[in-house]
Amino acid sequence: MSAEEIYGALTRKDWKQVRELCKNHRDGPFLKLSSSRDSVLQKALYSGDVELVLALLDDAYENFREGQAFEDKLKDDVNVIKNTALHVAATQDSCILAAAKIFDYAGHLLFAQNNRGEFPVFSAVRYGQLNMFKFLDSKIFEAVGDEDFRLSLYKLSNERGTYTILHVAIYNEHFELALYIAKKFPSLICEKNHQRLTGLQLLAMNSSAFRYQNWKWLKHLLPSPFRGSFAESSHKDATNHKVEDGTDGPSCTMGIPWWNKIKKEYRRYQAALELASILVEKDTEWIDKLESSGVADAVADTNWGDDNSTESQNNADESVKAPTPLILATKYGCLDIALQIISKHPQTVEQVGRKYGSILHLAIKYRRTEIFDAVVKMKMQMRRLVRLPDKDGNSILHMVALDTTRVKVENGSDATSTTTLKDKSSQPWDAEEIKNEARSPAFILQDDLLLFERVEDILKTHYHKTLNKDLETADQLFSAKKEPIRQEAQEWMKRTAENCSIVAVLIATVAFAAAYTVPGGSNPDGSPVLLNQTFFVVFTVTDVLSLASTLTAVVVFLSILCSSYRLQDFKETLPKSLMFGISCLIFSLTMMMLAFAATIILMIKNRQQWTRIALYAVAFLPVTVLVATYLPFYVPLMRTFYYTVDKVKSIVPHFTCPKKRSPPFHLQKSSLPKTKKATGSSGPGDEV
């Protein structure tokens, strides 16, 4: 009998043969099967079959008559990275019974460390196993009485790095487990890892955790499952945690797969949102430092943390600090965190960096308009922040030209290498770069032009002429930096107009031909046979409207092709023309399909209601396809419509009634000294 036979039986899931083969081998379930030195027991744990694991443990205990020998076997059963059987069992909630059995046989494995120096409880956190973590936490609480020592088991500091279980849960995006840890162990919230990042800073760099922040309507359908559900857990609760025996399986449920996926993702988002709320409320150490210094510790737009040398990170100069959570949330687009910080700690918006300037500079640079809007509403802070320059003398208006969202991530240089725990490759959490690369350059340029105009209005007219260190005004810098994207937008606009013109001409050809093809034929006098039919009128009107609108679209697209493509044209003129042309194109196709449906109804004898419904449904199929095709272009163009509406509102007279002003404080009755009257009868002259 060889290890290959057992490995084959495990692959085939022939548990009976696995058990028999292990009984006949002197090493039993502790036989090593692969180059990773995983034993039969560990492979069985990976398979998730708890009954097989329990049977192998019982058989091994019988084979090794002496209890101490069996305990030593369990202790020595480690793989190439020194993971014990309890480490492996901790990676799955379904193996709680197996973990309890292993703990009963060898309780000291609870404090065994692998090559990373991690205890089994770290494995449960790394794989997001909430129930397993509760079980192991309860066993640690029973075994360790000293609270400080117990908390030290949840922190790791060695040559490989420094982090806590909270860091591990947040980094691996197990937010429900991280929420439980943050509520049960609040002392871990302010702990920093080897890159001087707290849990809040680590979460602020993970924009993918808040991808559902724009789906506000979901909160009405799927209320948060975490509000009040994770009450402050006590150690007594952990101790009383019960191990499920698995006899009562999960009940059968029916659901829609895509809706279940949305619910799962939204639950993940709600856990991250609740976790952010707790971390923002309790992690205030960085705010105290800001209030004492008034200057942010570091900059957010440098390659801070890119050094992968553990020694250099652990022995780095203490003067080099990590960016604050507000800076990181602004840079990586975690709007929920940034807005919570601004709401709960409004003084943090006044932090000033030595290089990047104010929070307004960062919000504009990374196009975080929601954060910019939140700060703009703070009138008192805006009076100071609006005039602060960065290290290059750039005002916030200059920053509109310095858009970083179109910069591609190369070799992880701008990725979250600052957040690695030394066991994963650097991957960009922030997907804004990829998303913006897929957008049309014309839409990006339009957004920049509208933002420039808005910031210019905020700064007032006299201030936007300020020069930076290169002696450039904001207008000059914007024109120079946006010239490449203007050329890209010009080429894209030309291609779009040309393609749409071809479609419009084809529709016009069909509509023109249909106008001279009378349904049902003509009488000898030349009048249509079906002239008095209602659907003949429908055919005539829709065909004329189709021809008129498609010719209008052709003219509009020709005007786009003949445009001079100046920079300012991309703010309103060209997008408005494109939106109008596409609208005419969609309308013309809709009318043509109505004319087609009316013609078919006129030509057939069957006038039943279901026939008309079926014909209209078939007729609108091309319209649906066209709308779905042009929707990605049409939706961004709606900004032009809203911009035009705002401009119209600005020139329409507004009638406002002045509010009733209260008298000055010194004239108010409450501020005047009260007069006293003398006792007894007295006239007006007797008043004191």
Using alpha carbons only, what angle is made at residue 136 by residues 133 and 140, rounded to the nearest 5 degrees? 130
Q: Residue 9 above 60 pLDDT?
A: yes
* Chain mean position to CA 403: 20
Average pLDDT over residues 416-440: 44
Confidence of residue 488 (pLDDT cuts 50, 70, 90): very high
C-alpha distances out from residue 507 to 79, 533, 540, 558, 560, Å: 70, 25, 16, 16, 19
**512 or 522, which is more confident:** 512
DSSP 98-124: HHHHHHHH-GGGGG---TT---HHHHH
Average pLDDT over residues 71-89: 90
Q: Residue 592 above 90 pLDDT?
A: no
Find the largest Cα–Cα distance for the chain: 124
| pLDDT above 90 coverage of the chain, percent | 31
**22 or 490, which is more confident:** 490
**665 or 510, which is more confident:** 510
The neighbouring-strand residues paired with 156 are 163
The neighbouring-strand residues paired with 528 are 522
Residue 163 to residue 195: CA distance in whole angstroms: 9
Q: Residue 55's closest CA among 69, 41, 70?
A: 41
Would you say 451 and 425 are in contact if contact means Cβ atoms under 8 Å apart? Answer: no
Q: Residue 599 above 60 pLDDT?
A: yes
Average pLDDT over residues 455-463: 74
Written as six digits, the tokens of 139 are 């066993």
What's residue 109's pLDDT? 93
Would you say 46 and 88 are in contact if contact means Cβ atoms under 8 Å apart? Answer: yes
Q: Residue 197's closest CA among 225, 162, 232, 234?
A: 162
Average pLDDT over residues 593-604: 77
Residue 324 to residue 426: CA distance in whole angstroms: 21
Would you say 53 and 45 are in contact if contact means Cβ atoms under 8 Å apart? Answer: yes
Confidence of residue 427 (pLDDT cuts 50, 70, 90): very low
Residue 582 to residue 504: CA distance in whole angstroms: 9
Residue 215 to residue 219: CA distance in whole angstroms: 8
User: Does 292-484 match 3-153 at the fold level?
Assistant: yes
What's residue 208's pLDDT? 84
C-alpha distances out from residue 72 to 46, 61, 63, 119, 530, Å: 22, 11, 14, 18, 98
What's residue 663's pLDDT? 60
What's residue 668's pLDDT? 54
Could you report the per-residue pLDDT of 207-255, keeping only the tens digit for each?
A: 888 876 666 666 666 666 655 455 444 444 444 555 554 444 455 555 6
Average pLDDT over residues 522-542: 76
Pairing of β 161-164 and β 155-158: antiparallel
* Chain mean position to CA 304: 23
Average pLDDT over residues 327-338: 90
Burial 364-395 (b: 16+ CB within 10 A, else e): bbbbbeebbebbbeeeebeeebbebbbeeebb
What's residue 93's pLDDT? 93
Task: Average the pLDDT over each of 221-230, 351-360, 389-398, 433-442 and give the range with the smallest value.
Answer: 221-230
Residue 635 to residue 648: CA distance in whole angstroms: 21
**465 or 232, which is more confident:** 465
The neighbouring-strand residues paired with 157 are 162
Any idea what DSSP says for residue 157? E
Collect all residues with Cβ–Cβ distance below 8 Å to 286 and sequence separation of at least 6.
198, 297, 324, 325
- Beta strands per DSSP E along 425-557: none
Confidence of residue 22 (pLDDT cuts 50, 70, 90): confident
Q: Residue 287 above 90 pLDDT?
A: no
What's residue 538's pLDDT? 85
Average pLDDT over residues 85-89: 94
Q: Residue 371 above 80 pLDDT?
A: yes
Task: Average the pLDDT over each of 66-70, 403-407, 634-638 and give the range with the smallest value.
Answer: 403-407
Average pLDDT over residues 646-652: 63
**275 or 291, which is more confident:** 275
Written as six digits, the tokens of 347 are 């003084």
What's residue 463's pLDDT? 60
What's residue 429's pLDDT? 41
What's residue 593's pLDDT? 83
CATH number of 497-650, picked from 1.10.150, 2.30.30, 1.20.140, 2.60.40:
1.20.140
Confidence of residue 67 (pLDDT cuts 50, 70, 90): low
**32 or 262, which is more confident:** 32
Average pLDDT over residues 101-123: 92
Average pLDDT over residues 67-86: 85
Residue 679's identity, in one-letter code, is: T
Using alpha carbons only, what angle is made at residue 645 by residues 643 and 648, rounded to the nearest 5 degrees? 110
What's residue 341's pLDDT? 93
What's residue 159's pLDDT? 80
| pLDDT above 70 coverage of the chain, percent | 70
Average pLDDT over residues 398-414: 59
Confidence of residue 568 (pLDDT cuts 50, 70, 90): very high
Q: Is the pTM of this model over 0.85?
A: no
Q: Residue 285 above 80 pLDDT?
A: yes
Q: Please count the other Cβ atoms lying within 10 Å of the Cβ belonging to residue 280.
A: 25
Task: Average the pLDDT over each of 130-144, 165-179, 401-415, 451-465 and give the range with the smallest value.
Answer: 401-415
152-156, 235-239, 512-516, 534-538: range with highest mean pLDDT: 152-156
Would you say 176 and 268 are in contact if contact means Cβ atoms under 8 Å apart? Answer: yes
On average, the pLDDT of the chain sits at 78
Average pLDDT over residues 386-412: 73
What's residue 239's pLDDT? 42
Q: Residue 424 above 70 pLDDT?
A: no
**224 or 107, which is more confident:** 107
Q: Please count the other Cβ atoms lying within 10 Å of the Cβ belonging to residue 260.
A: 11
Task: Average the pLDDT over each of 31-45, 208-222, 408-422, 528-542 and give the range with the smallest value.
Answer: 408-422
Q: Residue 646 above 50 pLDDT?
A: yes
Q: Specify the DSSP element, H or E, that contains 603.
A: helix 573-603
Task: Average the pLDDT over each of 178-187, 501-510, 605-614 and give the range with the smallest value.
Answer: 605-614
Question: Where in the chain are the domains?
Answer: 3-153, 292-484, 497-650
What's residue 598's pLDDT? 79
What's residue 426's pLDDT? 33
Residue 45 to residue 545: CA distance in whole angstroms: 71
**Helix runs in 64-206, H state only:** 67-76, 85-89, 96-105, 120-126, 130-143, 147-152, 165-171, 175-184, 199-204
Query: What is the fold, at CATH topology level, of the domain defined by 292-484?
Result: 1.25.40
What's residue 656's pLDDT? 60
Length of the chain: 688
C-alpha distances out from residue 374 to 204, 335, 347, 381, 641, Å: 18, 11, 13, 11, 24
Written as six digits, the tokens of 453 are 């105009």
Would you say 671 and 665 are in contact if contact means Cβ atoms under 8 Å apart? Answer: yes
What's residue 13's pLDDT? 86
Using alpha carbons only, what angle is made at residue 47 by residues 42 and 53, rounded to the nearest 5 degrees? 55
Is residue 395 helix, strand or coil? Answer: coil
Q: Please count the other Cβ atoms lying within 10 Å of the Cβ belonging to residue 243.
A: 14
Q: Spell out the CATH class of 3-153.
A: mainly alpha
Q: Residue 678 above 50 pLDDT?
A: no
Q: Please count the other Cβ atoms lying within 10 Å of the Cβ belonging to residue 640.
A: 21
Could you report the per-residue pLDDT of 553-567, keeping only the tens digit for each?
A: 999 999 999 999 999
Task: Average the pLDDT over each of 252-256, 465-469, 476-480 and give the range with the smallest value.
Answer: 252-256
What's residue 655's pLDDT? 59
Q: Residue 624 above 70 pLDDT?
A: yes
